[in-house]
């Protein structure tokens, strides 16, 4: 079990100390140039096959998004704020748009709300497919890399038709969405989502029911319910540990309370459960999209006209949404200016990263990739 | 200092070629022809039947069909041909190259993509050549703290050991490079040499990830060698020989897989582990330890290791065919009689001058061609079964792997031995048996 075999050294800062050379303990720098790291470094110490110390070292892709936001007005902030996680760009713009709408006191039309929900769910599928592909290749399953990347194109095509861009959509704006969806979108969306759902169920045959995968990821990196709450994890990590927490249910935004869907919760809290929750979320997303397409008003305006540089009052607002990785919040402080005085992004990736040393200490070296990537961690987003 | 690459122009290329050709012609004519003339002056050409046998006439005589066939045949009986071309390296390398191509296309079809496509006109058939050229042209980088002689030696040793393994495999009646009585024991010895090379290369690279990969490879290979050897003991008991040719001949009526399916399964799983293929590719697990013990190899050193590992793949698949699937035995579908009159009498070249008596007969016997076709078909089948797990399974973990090796496969191998003992002592198979 984690944390029991070896005491954790909490005082050591990553990468700063000169350590004593030990015959038994070997320090490995997993990253930033390592096939299994992403844009980050994990300093691990191994004793034989066991990880005795783990130090995640993020910050390689820090871009100063929060500071940049202070120099741009509320409209020009849109394109650069989606950069931290371009595969989930609708969901990272969602809390920003909700917050600015609250600051400016704009009421969004019903049709725009439905379109936003559809775009956000499509984008969640795009992100999770990409995540799943990398989870597959981390486990040495190359078919599970190719299939999600291929099927992801279905969703990307839909978003392309909707927004005009394949990846960085910049689709959500304060006051609705940038443009209306094309005329024949509903039929195409329904067809592709149905096919996508069929394909998702085939993943179970090749991946989730695979005995080798189960033997490898079951009971590894177990995060108990109490620890998951105490460490402040969110999203799929929290729900895999048996906590029923989904912002779409707990604090419904836009039209989520009118839609029919459920939250997926598993009790095990191991890497297998953590890898299965996003897949179940995708199946749930397909349901949401179908439901939203049915209930959406067939016509109406989708965007409230704003002044070129809208000014908000002397107030502040915090809104959060459920992104592909978990609760994503934005705290916008306004001081009677066209620009935000301060914009703080609370990202789910960084919150899930905190669980990593806790989970990896005492695990085997072979468990590093599945445990690391099952935390649903996106390094670029965590660095902002 | 930066170097700007010169612009490519067709004119420069043609000029370079013509310049070289011009000087080559000049040197050949000024130096080569006089040398040839001088040499020819001092050689006494033999006069046979009133005709002078000059080099051109000898060439003419050799290329005459009646003499050429026995010459080719005698060349094919030499050890050099056996080692370099047919049952040895050339044949194995051909199958290995085909395996790489088939693997990439098969995996691509499984993963709903195209695979190699542009290199070569047909379906990217020249991709392997392109990759080989790329590897050859790459710079070889050696870590500063590496133990250089050992590091250099490791890939060469790996490919050479794989070649030695190939040399022990009989592919058709009478066609084997090394026909030794203790053939199976030699196979065990060669297999036992691979972990040593792996650990030598991992240790000499003086780097952390290769070291972990080498240790993993050592654990994996050593712990899977034991069930591998044990799973083959049953066949040795039933046949009473270690000679691979005799083992194949003993399967003329039925292959041993009928009586020893457990041994075949154990052996197959051990093959996957010995070959470091998915799901047992732990020594090269890229998301954990970069490329394992291959991390520091670059350029053609890496290419040699890859060549060796695919030769090893062919050799193991062929060994499975030889031991369990009956080798070259199979129903006749090739005509039993020669199609055309290609039988020639023995020939004596240049009587009086150069006496070289060559037997007549067929280039290949019909039996050999039929057997070879069966052998290749079976080997390709086994290779395909070895390739498919790569598209279906994820990688296993080292502790689970060792658990499979020590707790499950060894027990199954012993059960197989008991089955073989029961078959021998009940008098069904073996010396004086019913079958």
Q: Which of A355-359, B233-237, B266-270, B289-293 has the highest mean pLDDT?
A: B266-270
Smallest Cβ–Cβ distance between B279 and the set A136, A207, A212 belongs to A212
Average pLDDT over residues A187-205: 90
Confidence band (pLDDT; 50, 70, 90) for B89? confident
| Cβ distance of A140 and B400 shorter than 8 Å | no
Tell me, yes or no, whether B56 lies in a domain. no
Under the banding of pLDDT at 50, 70 and 90, the label for residue A1 is very low
Q: Which residues of B touch A (CB under 8 A)?
A: 107, 110-113, 208-209, 212, 278-279, 281-282, 285-290, 390-400
Q: How far apart are CA B421 and CA B249, in angstroms?
A: 21
Is A140 close to B395, i.e. CB distance below 8 A? yes
Q: What is the 3-state secondary structure (H, E, C) of chain B?
A: CCCCCCCCCHHHHHHHHHHHHHHHHHHHHHHHHHHHHHHHHHCCCCEECCEECCHHHHHHHHCCHHHHHHHHHHHHCCHHHHHHCCCCHHHHHHHHHHHHHHHHHHHHHHCCCCCCCCCCCCCCCCHHHHHHHHHHHCCCCCCCCCCHHHHHHHHHHHHHHHHHHHHCCCCECCECCCCCCCHHHHHHHHHHHHHHHHHHHHHHHCCHHHHHHHHHHHHHHHHHHHHHHHHHHHHHHHHCCCCHHHHHHCCCCCCHHHCCHHHHHHHHHHHHHHCCCCCCCHHHCHHHHCCHHHCCCCCHHHHHHHHHHHHHHHHHHHHHHHHHCCCCCCCCCCCCCCCCCCCECCEECCCCCCCCEECCECCCCHHHHHHHHHHHHHHHHHHHHHHCHHHHCCCCCHHHHHHHHHHHHHHHHHHHHHHHHHHHHCCCCCCCCCC
Give the separation between CA A368 and CA A29, rounded to whole angstroms: 12
pLDDT of residue A127: 92
The answer to whether position A30 is within a domain reads: no
Angle between helix B410-425 and helix B208-239 axes, rounded to 10 deg: 10
Judged against a pLDDT cut of 70, whether residue B296 lies above it is answered with: yes
Mean pLDDT of all residues in chain B?
83
CA end-to-end distance (rounded Å), chain B: 78
Measured between beta carbons, the chain A residues lying within 8 angstroms of B399 are 49, 364, 366
Query: Quick one: pLDDT at residue B258?
Result: 85
The interface residues of chain A toward chain B in range 4-63, judged by CB-CB distance below 8 A, are 26, 28, 34-36, 46, 49
Cβ contact B412:B266 at 8 Å: yes
Structure-model confidence comparison of residues B6 and A310, the more confident one = A310
Number of domains making up chain A: 1
Please answer yes or no on whether B112 and A49 come within 8 Å at the CB atom: no
Q: What is the residue range of A229's domain?
A: 65-383
Q: Which domain holds residue B410?
A: 140-425
Residue A225 lies in a domain: yes
Q: Do A28 and B209 touch (CB under 8 A)?
A: yes
Q: What is the pLDDT of residue A5?
A: 45
| pLDDT (0 to 100) of residue B346 | 55
Residue of B113, B393, B398 lying closest to A366 (CB–CB) = B398
More confident residue, A330 or B58: A330
Residue A187 has pLDDT above 60, yes or no: yes
| Contact map slice: A 181-240 vs B, CB within 8 A | 206-207, 210, 212-213, 215-216
**pLDDT of B336 strictly over 80:** no
- Contact list, B112 vs chain A (CB under 8 Å): 146-147, 150
Quote the CA–CA distance of A306 and A104 in Å, as a whole number. Answer: 10
Cβ–Cβ under 8 Å, residues B394 and A136:
yes
Proportion of chain B above pLDDT 90, given as a percent? 11
A&B contacts, CB < 8 Å: 84
Spatial separation of the C-alpha atoms in residues B367 and B337, rounded to whole Å: 10
Looking at residue B7, what is its pLDDT? Answer: 67
- Asked if B392 lies within 8 A of A206 by C-beta distance, the reply is yes
Predicted pLDDT at B268: 92
Q: Calculate the CA dihedral of residues A316, A322, A323, A328 and round it to 10 degrees.
A: 30
Q: How far apart are CA B413 and CA B230, in angstroms?
A: 6
Does residue A6 surpass a pLDDT of 50? no
Within a domain: A21: no
At B340, the pLDDT band (50, 70, 90 cuts) reads low
Q: How many independent structural domains does chain B possess?
A: 1
Exposure string for A179-188, b = 16+ CB within 10 A, e = fewer: ebbeeebeee
Put simply, the answer to whether B287 touches A138 (Cβ < 8 Å) is yes
The answer to whether residue B166 sits within a structural domain is: yes
Q: Which of B112, B209, B285 sits opposite A146 (nearest CB)?
A: B112
Q: What is the pLDDT of residue B349?
A: 57
Is A147 at the interface with chain B, CB within 8 A? yes
**Between residues B38 and B49, the one the model is more confident about:** B38
**Which residue is closest to B109 within chain A, CA to CA?**
A143
Inter-chain touch A34–B290, beta carbons under 8 Å:
yes
Residue B1 has what pLDDT?
45
A contact test, residue of B269, B288, B292, B402 with most A CBs within 10 A: B288
Res B96 pLDDT > 80: yes
**B377 in a structural domain:** yes
Partner-chain residue, chosen from A26, A137, A368, that has the shortest CB–CB distance to B288:
A368
The shortest CB-CB distance from B290 to any of A35, A207, A366 is to: A35
A369 touches chain B (CB under 8 A): yes
- Could you identify the residue written with the tokens 């073989």? B420
Q: How many CB atoms lie under 10 A from the CB of residue A17? A: 9
- The answer as to whether B98 is a domain residue is no
The verdict on residue A265 lying in a domain is yes
Residue B134 has pLDDT above 50, yes or no: yes
Contact assignment for B393 to A144 by CB distance below 8 Å:
no
Give the sign of the dihedral formed by CA B284, CA B290, CA B292, CA B294.
positive
Rounded CA-CA distance A177/A321 in Å is 17
Percent of chain B with pLDDT over 70: 88
Q: Mean per-residue pLDDT for B12-30?
A: 85
Work out the average pLDDT over B301-316.
90
Mean pLDDT in residue range A260-287: 90
- List Cβ neighbours of A194 (8 Å cut-off, separation of 6 or more): A286
Cβ atoms B292, B285 nearer than 8 A: yes
Give the model confidence (pLDDT) of B149-203 as tens digits: 888 889 999 999 998 999 898 888 888 888 888 888 999 999 989 889 988 888 8
Per-residue pLDDT at A3 exceeds 60: no
pTM: 0.81
Is the residue at B70 inside a domain?
A: no
Across A280-294, average pLDDT: 90
A 90-129: CB under 8 A from B: none
Of A136, A141, A369, the CB nearest to B288: A369
ipTM of the complex: 0.79
> B342-385: per-residue pLDDT in tens?
555 555 555 555 555 555 556 677 778 888 888 999 999 999 99
Mean pLDDT of all residues in A217-226 = 87
Residue B31 to residue B25: CA distance in whole angstroms: 10
Is residue B83 a part of any domain in this protein? no
Share above pLDDT 90 across residues of chain A, in percent, rounded to a whole number = 15
pLDDT grade for A8, boundaries at 50, 70 and 90 = low
Cα distance between residue A149 and residue A154, in whole Å:
10
Q: Is the pLDDT of residue B430 over 70?
A: no
* pLDDT surpasses 50 at A13: no
Integer-rounded Cα radius of gyration of chain A: 21
Predicted local confidence at residue A130, as pLDDT: 92
Report pLDDT for A129.
Answer: 92
Give the mean pLDDT of chain A.
86
Tell me what pLDDT residue A17 has. 46
Give the residue, A227 or B334, on which the prediction is more confident: A227
> Mind telling me how many Å the CA of A360 is from chain B's nearest CA?
13
In this structure, the strands spanning B51-52 and B47-48 are: antiparallel
Task: Let me know if residue B59 belongs to a domain.
Answer: no
Q: Which of residues 53-72 of A touch B (CB under 8 A)?
A: none
* Within-domain flag for B53: no
**CATH number of A145's domain:** 1.10.645.10
Residue in B219, B394, B404, B408 to test binding to A, most A beta-carbons within 10 Å: B394
The two three-digit tokens of residue A75, written as one number: 């409209």
- C-alpha span between A303 and B9 (Å, rounded): 58
CB contact under 8 A, B209 and A140: no
pLDDT in tens, A34-53: 888 878 888 888 887 888 88
If one compares B327 and B267, the residue with the highest pLDDT of the two is: B267
Could you tell me if residue A85 is inside a domain? yes
- By CA distance, what is A134's nearest residue in B? B287
């Amino acid at each position: 079990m984690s944390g029991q075999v070896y005491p954790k050294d909490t005082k050591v800062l990553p990468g700063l100390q000169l350590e004593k050379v030990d015959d038994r303990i070997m320090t490995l720098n997993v990253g930033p140039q390592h096939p299994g790291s992403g844009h980050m470094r994990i300093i691990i110490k191994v004793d034989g096959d066991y990880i005795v110390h783990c130090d995640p070292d993020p910050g390689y892709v820090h871009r100063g998004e929060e500071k940049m936001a202070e120099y741009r007005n509320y409209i020009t902030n849109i394109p650069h704020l989606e950069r931290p996680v371009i595969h989930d760009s609708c969901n990272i713009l969602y809390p920003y748009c909700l917050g600015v709408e609250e600051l400016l006191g704009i009421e969004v039309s019903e049709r725009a709300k439905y379109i936003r929900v559809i775009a956000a769910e499509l984008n969640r599928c795009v992100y999770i497919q990409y995540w799943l592909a990398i989870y597959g290749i981390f486990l040495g399953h190359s078919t599970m890399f190719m299939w999600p990347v291929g099927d992801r194109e279905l969703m990307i095509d839909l978003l392309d038709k909707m927004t005009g861009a394949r990846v960085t959509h910049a689709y959500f704006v304060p006051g609705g969405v940038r443009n209306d969806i094309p005329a024949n979108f509903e039929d195409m969306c329904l067809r592709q989502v149905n096919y996508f759902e069929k394909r998702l169920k085939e993943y179970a045959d090749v991946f989730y029911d695979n005995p080798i995968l189960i033997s490898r990821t079951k009971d590894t990196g177990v995060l108990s319910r109490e620890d998951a709450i105490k460490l402040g994890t969110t999203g799929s990590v929290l729900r895999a540990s048996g906590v029923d927490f989904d912002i779409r249910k707990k604090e419904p935004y836009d039209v989520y309370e009118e839609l029919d869907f459920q939250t997926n919760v598993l009790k095990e809290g191991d890497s297998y459960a953590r890898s299965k929750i996003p897949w179940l979320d995708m199946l749930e997303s397909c349901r949401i999209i179908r439901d939203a397409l049915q209930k959406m008003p067939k016509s109406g305006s989708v965007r409230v006209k704003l002044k070129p540089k809208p000014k908000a009052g002397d107030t502040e607002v915090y809104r959060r949404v459920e992104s592909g990785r978990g609760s994503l919040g934005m705290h916008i402080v306004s001081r009677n200016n066209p620009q935000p005085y301060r914009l703080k992004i609370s990202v789910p990736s960084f919150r899930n990263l905190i669980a990593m040393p806790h989970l990896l200490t005492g695990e085997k070296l072979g468990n590093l990739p599945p445990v690391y990537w099952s935390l649903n961690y996106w390094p670029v987003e965590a660095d902002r | 200092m930066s170097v700007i690459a010169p612009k490519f122009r067709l004119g420069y290329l043609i000029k370079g070629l013509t310049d070289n050709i011009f000087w080559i012609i000049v040197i050949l004519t000024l130096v080569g022809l006089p040398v040839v003339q001088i040499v020819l002056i001092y050689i006494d050409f033999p006069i046979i039947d009133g005709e002078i046998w000059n080099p051109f006439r000898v060439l003419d005589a050799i290329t005459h069909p009646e003499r050429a066939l026995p010459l080719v045949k005698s060349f094919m009986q030499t050890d050099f041909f056996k080692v370099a071309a047919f049952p040895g390296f050339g044949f194995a390398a051909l199958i290995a190259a085909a395996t790489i191509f088939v693997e990439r296309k098969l995996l691509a079809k499984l993963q709903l993509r195209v695979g190699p496509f542009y290199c070569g006109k047909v379906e990217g058939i020249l991709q392997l050549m392109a990759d080989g050229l790329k590897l050859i042209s790459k710079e070889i980088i050696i870590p500063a703290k590496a133990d250089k002689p050992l590091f250099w030696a490791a890939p060469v040793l790996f490919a050479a050991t794989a070649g030695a393994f190939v040399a022990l495999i009989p592919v058709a009646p009478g066609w084997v490079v090394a026909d030794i009585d203790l053939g199976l024991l030699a196979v065990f010895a060669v297999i036992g040499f691979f972990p040593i090379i792996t650990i030598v290369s991992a240790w000499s690279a003086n780097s952390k990830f290769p070291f972990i990969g080498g240790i993993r490879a050592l654990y994996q290979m050593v712990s899977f060698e034991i069930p591998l050897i044990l799973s083959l003991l049953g066949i040795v008991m039933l046949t009473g020989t270690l000679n691979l040719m005799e083992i194949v001949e003993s399967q003329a009526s039925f292959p041993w897989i009928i009586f020893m399916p457990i041994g075949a399964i154990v052996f197959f799983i051990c093959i996957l582990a010995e070959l470091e293929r998915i799901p047992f590719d732990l020594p090269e697990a890229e998301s954990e330890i970069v490329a394992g013990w291959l991390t520091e190899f670059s350029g053609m050193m890496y290419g040699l290791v890859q060549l060796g590992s695919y030769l090893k793949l062919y050799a193991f698949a062929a060994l499975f065919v030889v031991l369990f699937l009956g080798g070259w035995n199979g129903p006749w579908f090739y005509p039993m009689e020669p199609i055309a009159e290609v039988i020639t009498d023995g020939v004596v070249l240049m009587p009086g001058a150069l006496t070289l008596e060559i037997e007549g007969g067929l280039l290949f016997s019909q039996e050999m061609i039929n057997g070879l076709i069966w052998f290749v078909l079976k080997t390709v089948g086994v290779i395909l079964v070895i390739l498919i797990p790569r598209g279906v399974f994820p990688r296993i973990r080292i502790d689970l792997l060792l658990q499979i090796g020590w707790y499950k496969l060894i027990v199954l191998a012993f059960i197989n031995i008991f089955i073989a003992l029961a078959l021998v002592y009940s008098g069904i198979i073996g010396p004086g048996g019913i079958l």
